[in-house]
């Protein structure tokens, strides 16, 4: 069962996810929290808005968090993402040396921390992180489902 703290920060990530829809992006949100410094950054998907294939919520939040502390190492950070991170984002999480990743909904097609790959647990890499799945998964899945249903209804996906 999710802790009260995990639920609190996942709700912030869900608020970020809602912002993504306002500019046509997939509703994924992310929050980075340092054990020693508190909330460092939050972001949402901006690929469509920025025309940038790397503008995933996790990458944008990691960049902002690193700027906030003045260093790329986020060793005491927990990252809250509404959707299981993809391979690119999981790689960025390893590179940032985060301590923990908490996510809402599983991604059976592209999830790279549990579903398809286990990048954060791979002993061949120079860093590993703890993974906690399923914090407010229904809320995350509902947002994604509604977004893609609207696209299909409009003949866009």
Q: Is 127 helix (H, G, I), strand (E, B) or coil?
A: coil
> What is the side-by-side strand order in the sheet with 29-34?
38-44, 29-34, 77-83, 100-105, 130-133
Q: What's the maximum distance between 2 C-alpha atoms anywhere in the chain?
A: 47
- The tokens of 76 are what? 């005491």
Active site residue 133: no
Catalytic residue among 58, 75, 84, 156: 58
What residues are annotated to the active site? Answer: 58
């Amino acid at each position: 069962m999710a802790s009260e703290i995990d639920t609190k920060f996942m709700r912030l990530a869900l608020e970020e996810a809602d912002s993504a829809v306002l500019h046509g992006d997939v509703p994924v949100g992310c929050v980075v929290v340092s054990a020693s410094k508190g909330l460092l950054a939050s972001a949402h998907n901006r690929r469509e808005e920025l025309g940038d294939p790397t503008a995933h919520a996790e990458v944008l939040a990691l960049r902002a968090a690193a700027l906030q502390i003045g260093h790329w190492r986020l060793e005491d950070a927990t990252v809250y993402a509404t959707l299981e991170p993809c391979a690119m984002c999981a790689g960025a999480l390893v590179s940032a040396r985060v301590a923990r990743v908490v996510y809402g909904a599983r991604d059976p097609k592209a999830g790279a921390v549990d579903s398809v790959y286990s990048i954060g647990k791979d002993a061949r890499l120079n860093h590993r992180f703890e993974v906690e799945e399923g914090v407010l998964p229904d809320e995350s899945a509902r947002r994604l489902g509604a977004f893609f249903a609207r696209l299909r209804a409009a003949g866009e996906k």
